[in-house]
Each structure stands twice: as C-alpha cells, then as structure tokens.
Amino acid sequence: MPKKEDLSKPSGPDPGGEGDTELRNRKQGRQKQKKDNKTTTEENGQEVASAEQTQAPAQQQQQPMPQQMPYPQPDVIYIPANRVIFAIPKWICYPVLVIMAIGFVILGGFIGDRVWKYYYGIIPWDSESGLKNVIGDAGVDFFRQYDRDMDGKLSLEEYEAMYYRLIGDGVNITANVQYTQLIDEDDEVLTARASFKPLLLETMTKDFNESFLSDSMDSLIGLKKWTSLTQEWNNYGAKHFKQAFFPEDKQLLEKVGEVYDIYKMDEGIFAMFDVQMKSSNRYNPPKVEDRVVLIHRLLTMFHPRPFLRTRFAPQGAKATIRAFNDKYVDIVFRIHAEFQLNDPPYYPFWFTPAQFKGNLIISRDGSHIEYFHMYVPTDKRLNIDMEWLNGPETDENMEVDIGFIPQMEIQITSPSKKVPKDLQEKELPEDKNMAKNVQNMKWKKEISMYDAERTLEIAFYPFKKIVYYNFTDAFEVAKKENRLVHHILLWALESTPVLALLNESFVSSWSLVADLKELEKDSHQPEYSKVASHFLENYKFPVMMMVALPNGTILHKVNANEFMDEGADGDDEPSLFSSLAGTFGEFMEKVNPKPKRITASSRLAGPQGDMMCPRLKQDLEKFKADGFDGPQEYHYMKFLQHAIQKSAPFMPDAFFRNV
C-alpha cells in the first residue's frame, strides 16, 4: 500500500517536470490547502502513483536523490482595487516622447514670440488694439498705410515712403516748429527779458549716487545740461498780447473776478486727438493755434520744447480782470505748461513747473502795453515736478521726483512804444520808473491781487473753495472753534456735499513733507514740533488724508492709493475699484475682447460716452443723483463722517452737522 504523502510539505514536481502544481499553489497564496476529501484522495493517489513510477529506477540503481534547487520566483504585479493599468510597448514610447518634445518647442517659440512683441511694442494687429489708446484711430490708419507687410514695424524701405510723404506735407522733421510774428509798422514794440536759474539738484529726493543710466544713457542728461536760457530777450508787438490774453467776450473787460479761458485742452489739434496727445513718449510739441503763438514764443525763451497742453491736470490757461479804468485793464493770468528736456536717443524727461502766473496791464483797445510780468512762484519749498523714462515701457520705467527752481521769469524792460521799422529788432532800454507808475495807477473798479489769484486757483482746483490754513494756524483755529482738523485733501474732491461738510465741521490744512520736516526741527514751537513729528510718522507715500483733534492727535487717516483702490476705511459699500472691477468683464466684451497693454498714456483712456458699459453708467448716475461726482467723493464723505463719529468721546461739546 503506498505511503500517504504529507500535505503539509511542498509536493514534488509534476511528471512533466514543470512544477505546475507548486506554481499554482504559490500564485494562489495557499488560500486553499485542502479541497473536499474525495478530490484530495484522488489527487494524492495520482501523485503517489507518479512518485512510484519515478522512484522505481532510482531504487533499482540505489542511488541517492540529488538535493533539488529552489524554483525561481516569477515577478508578480499586484493591482490595487479600482485601478486600470495600460501596457504600452517600449517601441511606442520613444516616438511619442520625441513628438511631444517637438510640440513643446513649437509652443514655446510661439509664446516667446507673443511675449516679445507684447513687451517690446510690436502689437498684434487687431481691430481694438491698445495702440489706439496711444495714437488714436487716425494714427493707426496712417501707420498701416506704410506697414506693407503688416508686421507691426517699419523697415527702411517702408519708412522711405513715409519720409517723403512727411516732407511733402511741409513737416520739418529735423527741427522744432519755428513761429514768427511780424510786427506791423503802426504797432507798438516792447522788449521782454527772461531770467533763469537752473533747478537745484540737491532739492530732489533722488540719491544721485544711484544709477539713472538706461542702456548706457543718463536719463537726466537734459536736466543737467539746462543751465542757461534759449533767448535772453526778444521783441514783440502789443497786438500779439491782445490776441493772446484778451477775452473773446469784450464785456468781461468791465467784470472783475470773472474767469475766462486763454486756451483750453480740447482746442485746435487737441480737439481731434483728445487723450492720445497726453502720451509721455514724445519729444516735440504739437503745432499750436495762432491765437496762443505768443505764449509759446515766450516759453521758448527758457527752453526750445515747451508743451502748452500738459499731459495731466491741471491743464490750460485762465485769466481774470483784476481792475479796470477808462484807459487800462489789469489782467491776472495763470498758465500750466511743461517742457521736454531730452532729445532722442535719450528717453523723454518731463519738466513741469507748478504754474506760470503774472499780470498784464494793457490799454482797452490793445494798442499799448504798460506792464507785463510772468514767473514761476518761489514761495514754496518745492515748485517743480519731474518725470522721466528709463526704458521703453512707460509704466515699468517711469521715475518721478520734485525739486525747486530759484528763478524762472519774464518781464518787459519798459512800456511799449512805437519805433522805426529798422529799430524793431533792437532791445529797448530799461524804464526804472515803470513799476512806480503802475503802483500809482487809479482804478475805477478792482479786487486785490490775492483775490484774483485765488479765483484762478479755485477755477483750476474747485476743492480749494474751502479755506486752507498753514499747519500751525489750522490747529489754533480748531481750538478756538472746537472743530476737527482735516489735513491734506485728495486733489479730485470737488462735490458739493463734501465741500459743505468740510466747511461746516472741519478746519482744513495741507502741507508738504519738507514743510513738516522743517517744523519738526523748530525748537521755538515745541508743541507743533511734536505734532509735525506725529504726522510724519503716519505719512505714507504719496498722499495722506488725516483728521486730527485740536491737540494734534490723529483720529482717522487714509492713504490716497489705498483710498482709490478700496474706498474709505474698509466700507462695505462698493468702492471705485470694485465698481469698475464688477463691470470689467462686460466692458471688455464690448470694447476689447483681447487683453491689451495699459501704459501711462493709455491709463487715462477709459470707458467714455457710448463706450461706457450700462452698469457703470448706472452707478455714476446714482452717485450724481445724490450730489456726488462719483464714487471717490462718496467714499470721502464716508471717511469724514467716520472721523466725526470717532471724535465724539473726545469732543462732547462740539457741534457737528448731522451725519
């Protein structure tokens, strides 16, 4: 009877020598060691029989069985539940990787090309390209006429055709436009003499040890070289002054304090181009209309490239009649202009005086000039704004600073008079009695020079209808009247509700950082020296609006940039930024379906007129219905109201308008 095999030990090899039984047991993890008794008995019988047949020869030879080597273990891949694995042959992987690499190279080249064109000014041609915001539709159309291959740039051959077009139209491309004004034989002549002292570089905030080089070019080269006048003196006709400074409505010659425009921003060529002419990427002034050629010529005595229309507000020139009698009128004026100091290939450098102000005493018929004086005021510590580019991108490469220029003025040497034609180009001698004669003039009706200048200031800055005190006087008045001190007002606030609240509940003041730094050092005013230090500690560039108690303690403050972006002190009401952001998608769908580059010149362009989306129109109409010009004024009102609420515990006896 054959011996029963012990199933607890591994079974021997199958007859075929393949070890199928053992491999099957291993793959199944010995999960089933026994089956039912009948099946097990039959299998054991077969195994025993096979073993006897195999071992018979071995018993006859009586040779010992060699020790069997362990079977090689096959690789087993266990697949987790809920997973699918695809087997891909290696010969397919390599071609796929090569194709993908080629695709990434092509895609990278395409993206790189688009980025290069986007940042270096080669703007793709599309109907709503951001280029229109810089040069307008007419400029784009003119460029496309000569960009024959439509690659967004002009080759030498393409430029040649444009060059002959420009000179054929009489455009002088080698020099600035030169204006001439002939003096009639029956006209009186006067000599205007200019005085100039260059800007004090030490008054700028920039550290000149820093590098202002751009592509090995000093961006301040024009400023550093501007140390003298273009013309020390020049002769003009009296009728030229009448043409430039007289009001169109002659009835205003007998209305003191009435403001009229000498020139406006939207006149002449500017009426056609609007915001496109505000680009900072310019060198040469545009042509001016005949009526204001005299003002342009006066400014060219300082520098050959004056711009009568400034890029940013305040813009234009205004005047008012200060006094009049039967023979003369005294015209007080204020002019805002700027100069471009650099030539190509240097990047533009903009030099913007705070203002040109002065007065003209002229006969009522315009035939005689008794007095003329125009100058940049020097009563403030800083009177010049400067902006310059250090690279091709306006937003990313724009630098700004402020400084002080000691003298920049023009004055006539004597009253105008008739001279022979051969002497019209000769300088007239100085009349030392001219100023005395002006002081002794008797007027039929007049206002003070201060009132005339303030009237013009309010015309440019409506928010200055509120009286602004200097820093120390503001706190003295606030103590006497038991009111809060409102210090530094945002430039754009001019709505009636805000002005009314400021006038009734606040004493307003504004100052420069330089002024407060000087006051901080003043040992003769220790109380206000501490207040100035307190304000400086809370200052954040560029502009801060603060509300303080009469003792100088700051109650409430907001930075101008944060205010413009977020509204007043975290209100839940929608701010200007959120209002625009909420309508941005709708606006872009209407105006520009593709992203466009925004530069310093195009940032002024925006949804206007029919281009403004309905939601933004509704928001602005709602603000205007409440007496506000827009969301800025609304949020500034909220800012002031919150300041009043915060002051209640400190000023219980103060009376404030119901807020």
Identify the residue whose tokens are 């560029």.
542
Task: Give residue 364's pLDDT.
Answer: 95
d(CA 212, CA 589) in angstroms, rounded, equals 41
User: pLDDT tier at 324 (50, 70, 90 boundaries)?
Assistant: very high
Of the chain, the percentage scoring pLDDT greater than 70 comes to 67
With beta carbons less than 8 A apart as the criterion, state whether 198 and 227 touch.
yes
pLDDT (0 to 100) of residue 650: 87
Mean pLDDT over 245-255 rounds to 93
**Predicted local confidence at residue 338, as pLDDT:** 96
pLDDT of residue 323: 97
Q: Average the pLDDT over each of 333-337, 495-499, 552-556 and give the range with the smallest value.
A: 495-499
Of 37-46, 256-265, 323-332, 538-547, the poorest mean pLDDT is in 37-46
Tell me what pLDDT residue 591 has. 33
Average pLDDT over residues 160-180: 77
Would you say residue 467 has pLDDT above 60?
Answer: yes
Predicted local confidence at residue 265, as pLDDT: 73
CA–CA separation, 432 vs 411, rounded Å?
A: 13
Average pLDDT over residues 15-36: 51
Q: Is the model's pLDDT at 369 over the cut of 60? A: yes
| Cα-based torsion angle of the residue sequence 548, 551, 552, 556 in order, rounded to the nearest 10 degrees | -20
DSSP line for 294-356: HHHHHHTTT-S-EESS-SSSS-EEEEEEEEE-SSEEEEEEEEE-EEE---TTSPPEEEEES-E
Peptide bond into 652 cis (omega under 30): no
| First-to-final CA distance of the chain | 116
d(CA 659, CA 645): 9
Q: Distance between alpha carbon 260 and the CA centroid of its chain, in Å?
A: 31
Is 28 strand, coil or helix?
A: coil
pLDDT tens sequence across 398-417: 788 899 999 999 999 999 99
Ramachandran sector of residue 117 (left: φ over 0; alpha: ψ -120 to 50; beta: rest): alpha
Give the range among 78-87, 173-182, 243-252 with minimum mean pLDDT: 78-87
Report whether pLDDT(608) > 90: no
Q: Report the alpha-carbon distance of residue 558 to residue 552 in Å, rounded.
A: 16
At 603, the pLDDT band (50, 70, 90 cuts) reads very low
**The pLDDT value given to residue 595:** 33
pLDDT attached to residue 632 = 72
Residue partners of 339: CB distance under 8 A and separation at least 6: 299, 302, 303, 305, 306, 307, 350, 351, 352
What's the mean pLDDT in 315-341?
96
Model confidence band, residue 568 (pLDDT cutoffs 50, 70, 90) = very low
Better pLDDT: 499 or 70: 499
Q: Bridge-partner residues for 623, per DSSP? A: none
**Cα dihedral value 139, 145, 148, 151, nearest 10:** 10
Q: Quick check: 195 pLDDT over 50?
A: yes
Distance (Å, whole) CA 478 – CA 508: 9
Selected residue with higher pLDDT from 133 and 516: 516
pTM of the model: 0.65
Question: Using CA atoms, how far apart are residues 110 and 103, in angstroms rounded to an integer?
Answer: 11
Helix, strand, coil distribution of the chain in percent, nearest 5: 40, 15, 45
Question: In whole angstroms, what is the distance from residue 368 CA to residue 237 CA?
Answer: 9
Dihedral sign (CA 555, 562, 277, 248): negative
DSSP letter for 70, please: P
- Identify the pLDDT of residue 191: 96
3-state DSSP assignment of residue 431? coil
Average pLDDT over residues 42-46: 52
